[in-house]
């Protein structure tokens, strides 16, 4: 049912866990199955993703997908990371059964949610800075 890569990523995820100093955290949930995925990113001042970690309450496909997604976006700029889709994740995982495709979509959505959070935080910082300087 699952490729060797999916099983390996599920059993030995490389990027599982939270992250101290994360400056972007995105959480998404899947209404259909009730699973939750949280993505933590450390984005540097040049807009490059230095590190990516995740916590997923979900199935084997969801865990493998997020783990792979983390590897895919590490070292990429924000713009490059936004172009990563679940198809890229699936290519590396070796496909998923059709009823598990939505799990890989959560990985894609969690990247976007984390980047959205990053922009919100930056906006707040800029507003704070402009108040101080006023």
- Token reading at 22: 């994360």
**Closest to ligand FES by CB, 59 or 92:** 59
Is residue 70 annotated as a catalytic residue, yes or no? no
Q: Say whether 59 is catalytic.
A: no
**Residue numbers at the binding site for ligand FES (CB under 6 A):** 30, 33, 35, 58-59, 61-62, 100, 103, 106
- Spatial distance between the Cα atoms of 71 and 14, rounded to a whole number of angstroms: 8
CB closer to ligand FES out of 94 and 129? 94
Residue nearest to ligand FES (CB): 33
DSSP string, 8-20: HHHHS-SSBS--T
CB of 108 to ligand FES, least distance (A): 12
Q: Residue 126 burial (CB < 10 Å; 0-12/13-18/19+)?
A: exposed
Residue 78 CB, nearest approach to ligand FES (Å): 25
Rounded to whole angstroms, what are the CA distances from 88 to 11, 48, 104? 21, 19, 10
Instruction: In angstroms, give the least distance from the CB of 55 to ligand FES.
Output: 13
Residues with catalytic roles: 33, 103
């Amino acid at each position: 049912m699952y490729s060797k890569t999916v099983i390996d990523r599920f059993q030995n995820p490389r990027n599982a866990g939270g992250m101290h100093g994360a400056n972007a955290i995105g959480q998404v949930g899947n209404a259909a199955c009730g699973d939750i995925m949280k993505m933590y990113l450390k984005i540097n001042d040049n807009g490059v993703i230095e590190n990516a970690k995740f916590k997923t309450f979900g199935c084997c496909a969801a865990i493998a997908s997020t783990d792979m997604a983390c590897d895919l976006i590490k070292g990429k700029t924000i713009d490059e990371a936004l172009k990563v889709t679940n198809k890229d994740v699936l290519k590396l995982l070796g496909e998923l059964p059709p009823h598990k495709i939505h799990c890989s979509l959560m990985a894609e959505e969690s990247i976007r949610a984390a980047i959205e959070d990053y922009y919100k935080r930056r906006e707040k910082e800029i507003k704070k800075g402009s108040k101080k300087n006023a």
